[in-house]
Chain A
Amino acid sequence: MSATDDLFAGFASRRFVTEDAEIFARIGGTGPPLLLLHGYPQNHVMWHRVAPRLARDFTVIAADLRGYGQSSCPPTDLEHRTYSKRAMAGDMIAVMAALGHRRFAVMGQDRGARVAYRMALEHPAAVDRLVILDIVSTLDQWQAESKEAKLRMFHWGFLAQPAPMPESLIRRAPRDWVEGPFKRGTKTRSISTIDPRALAAYQAVFTDPDHIHATCEDYRAGASCDLADDEADRAVGRQIGCPMLFLWGTHGTPSDIDDPLGLWRRWCPHVLGGTIDSGHFIAEENPDALVARALPFLLGE
């Protein structure tokens, strides 16, 4: 990557060895620790429009989930546990511990938000504040009944097909595949809101067969063990104890779901939230509004 292509100027690059993965992260800023977790089909680069501002108040750690970006792709298992949100949350606990952070705030988008809420459920001592962007829980999303919601989540069923079908289709058309979510999921229904350098960074990862496979495994986990983990927590009434903010796009994924904030209230009775004028990719489509809503919450104001 050339210096002009680096969207995180002034941020350090670090690699961390966790139990069975190697995690890449950009780190910058000063203040209490804030972990940023990206979604599909992206990587930490998606935070480039908000990270500089957040870094004024926080030590920002923008990590790539296992199987994404510049993180490693550990070999999968038949039950897809390797790419469960539980395993991904474990990576991030290890990364933050290596940096000396036992307790930290987390903001997650899309798949990263699934890792973030799983972390808040399973590591309540570690997560002191939680911001969830543009998702409902995996359990609630699978249960969404509207046809529009089902069509929007077509890739959940597609990517969860047995290997190597989705991998093969994506390998033959990686650029089209990566552009698809932005063409469908942004408010403007175009990729013009995405910085071309960021888009190039997303597309570059999808030329690698191992990352294509790993990211499919993320969704195979989403259709099996992640769902089972949510169901188990729902059955015992496990809840998110820390302060939680849920923001979703007026044209985002939860906009096809009836009362998404109410769905989160079942997981976290004190959750706060509201919409932002945006599609699914809030941090890139409307970064100023995201900062305006998330920063006061993260600062505990």
Chain B
Amino acid sequence: MTTLPELFPGFAIRRFEVNGASIHARVGGSGPPLLLLHGYPQTHACWHRVAPELARRFTLVMPDLRGYGDSTGPVPDAEHKAYAKRTMAADFVAVMQALGHERFGVVAHDRGGRVGYRLALDHPARVERLVTLDIVTTLDAWEDLATENAVGRFHWMFLARPAPFPETMIGRDPQYFLDYLLSQWTGTKDLTAFDPGALEHYRAAFAKPSVIHASCEDYRAGATIDPAIDRADREARRQIACPMLALWGATRKHGFVNKPLDTWRRWAPHVVGEPIECGHFLPEEAPQKTLAAMMPFLAQTTLGA
């Protein structure tokens, strides 16, 4: 079975103590800086199929979000601020700053996607361009929870219930729950899309009680403070100023995303995008199509190495 270093040949491991969190990241490549942010219930390993090609053109920084993988965050607070996307976005401003990157591109999937658009809204001077994978904003997603979406996105409500209820229900057999979600959200409804080594890594990470608890906190923030911050931005008409590309999975029956471009246009009038023929896990299910859709957009970077 392939180990993680084998999935990322030539990449280095770095750790950053920033913003009250300890962030683990894999870095490598050469060219303008590009921050890649993973989603739930995964880690930075989700980028392994696209990282080699991206690394030829860009300096990649692939962290684990606080609380996920090998990154850790602080003890949760009652307002879930510690796992708010605003807080996570600040983590990566600090990480990129520590690496000397004042301005950078962002490619972001799922929960990481929420951190990515929050970064673009909160720190417009930092984000040169933004690619989101298979999301709309947290606020828009809450506003679009009709029956089919409410069943398809049951975990938004389940994981956001007060601790320790979801933690307990998941924690008796974390691998079972992880495998279920990974299967359910692919286009093929099974685990065939995932590299066995990456899958083992996701399972090992999700077996940690601290990861289960922190990821539930991520969703508790997603049910409270995150949409409240989105709403404040919407009311203030704050928008995403940088170039933005939205990609989404075409084959999910109960998608995360309805009419994603129309929805994103309210936040980023100049957004472009398209569906990719796969489920939720674009970089693993359809790495070549995802690269083909991203590369022309990323190549327009105005940043130097």
Residues on B with beta carbons closer than 8 Å to the beta carbon of A297: none
Q: Tell me the A151-186 residues at the B interface (CB within 8 Å).
A: 151, 153-158, 160-162, 165, 168-170, 172-173, 176-177, 180, 183-184
B49 within 8 Å of A by Cβ?
no
Count of chain B residues with Cβ under 8 Å from any Cβ of A? Answer: 27
Q: Tell me the A168-210 residues at the B interface (CB within 8 Å).
A: 168-170, 172-173, 176-177, 180, 183-184
Interface-lining segment among B164-172, B196-204, B235-243? B164-172
Residues on B with beta carbons closer than 8 Å to the beta carbon of A173: 168-169, 172
Assembled-state Cα–Cα distance A157/B150 (Å): 6
Q: Known contacts being A147-B227, A154-B160, A156-B150, is A176 close to B176, with CB within 8 Å?
A: no
Q: Known contacts being A151-B157, A158-B158, A184-B162, is A168 close to B176, with CB within 8 Å?
A: yes
Of B146, B160, B172, the residue contacting A151 (CB under 8 A) is B160
Residues on A with beta carbons closer than 8 Å to the beta carbon of B151: 156-157, 160-161, 223
Could you mark each residue 48-89 of chain B with 1 if its beta carbon is under 8 Å from any beta carbon of chain A, else 0? 000000000000000000000000000000000000000000
Q: Which residue of B lies closest to A223 (CB)?
A: B151
Q: Which residue of A lies closest to B150 (CB)?
A: A157
A227 within 8 Å of B by Cβ?
yes
Of A157, A176, A180, A183, the residue contacting B157 (CB under 8 A) is A157
Q: Are A157 and B154 in contact, with the CB atoms below 8 A?
A: yes
Of A155, A165, A180, A223, the residue contacting B147 (CB under 8 A) is A223
Q: Tell me the B112-169 residues at the A interface (CB within 8 Å).
A: 142-143, 145-147, 150-154, 157-158, 160-162, 165, 168-169
Residues on B with beta carbons closer than 8 Å to the beta carbon of A49: none
B167 smallest CB distance to A (angstroms): 10
A254 smallest CB distance to B (angstroms): 17
Residues on A with beta carbons closer than 8 Å to the beta carbon of B16: none
Q: Which residue of B lies closest to A179 (CB)?
A: B165
A48 within 8 Å of B by Cβ?
no
Assembled-state Cα–Cα distance A156/B177 (Å): 17
A222 smallest CB distance to B (angstroms): 10
Residues on B with beta carbons closer than 8 Å to the beta carbon of A180: 161, 165
Assembled-state Cα–Cα distance A157/B154 (Å): 5
Residues on A with beta carbons closer than 8 Å to the beta carbon of B154: 154, 156-158, 160-161
Q: Are B173 and A168 in contact, with the CB atoms below 8 A?
A: yes
Residues on A with beta carbons closer than 8 Å to the beta carbon of B143: 145
Assembled-state Cα–Cα distance A168/B184 (Å): 15
Q: Are B158 and A157 in contact, with the CB atoms below 8 A?
A: yes
Residues on A with beta carbons closer than 8 Å to the beta carbon of B165: 176, 180, 183-184
Q: Are A169 and B146 in contact, with the CB atoms below 8 A?
A: no
A142 within 8 Å of B by Cβ?
yes
A150 within 8 Å of B by Cβ?
yes
B223 within 8 Å of A by Cβ?
yes
Q: Which residue of B lies closest to A177 (CB)?
A: B169
A151 smallest CB distance to B (angstroms): 5
Q: Are B161 and A154 in contact, with the CB atoms below 8 A?
A: yes
Of B147, B157, B184, the residue contacting A142 (CB under 8 A) is B147
Residues on B with beta carbons closer than 8 Å to the beta carbon of A155: 158
B251 smallest CB distance to A (angstroms): 17
Leading 8 A-B pairs by shortest Cβ distance: A157-B154, A154-B157, A172-B172, A142-B147, A157-B151, A165-B180, A176-B168, A158-B154
Not counting A151-B223, A180-B165, a sample of 17 additional A-B residue pairs whose C-beta atoms are within 8 angstroms of each other reads A147-B142, A147-B223, A150-B157, A154-B157, A154-B160, A156-B150, A156-B151, A157-B157, A158-B154, A168-B176, A169-B172, A169-B177, A173-B168, A173-B172, A176-B169, A177-B169, A184-B165
Interface residues of chain A, those whose CB is within 8 Å of chain B, are 142-143, 145, 147, 150-151, 153-158, 160-162, 165, 168-170, 172-173, 176-177, 180, 183-184, 223, 227
A-B contact pairs, 7 of them (CB 8 A): A143-B146, A145-B143, A154-B157, A154-B158, A160-B154, A173-B168, A227-B147
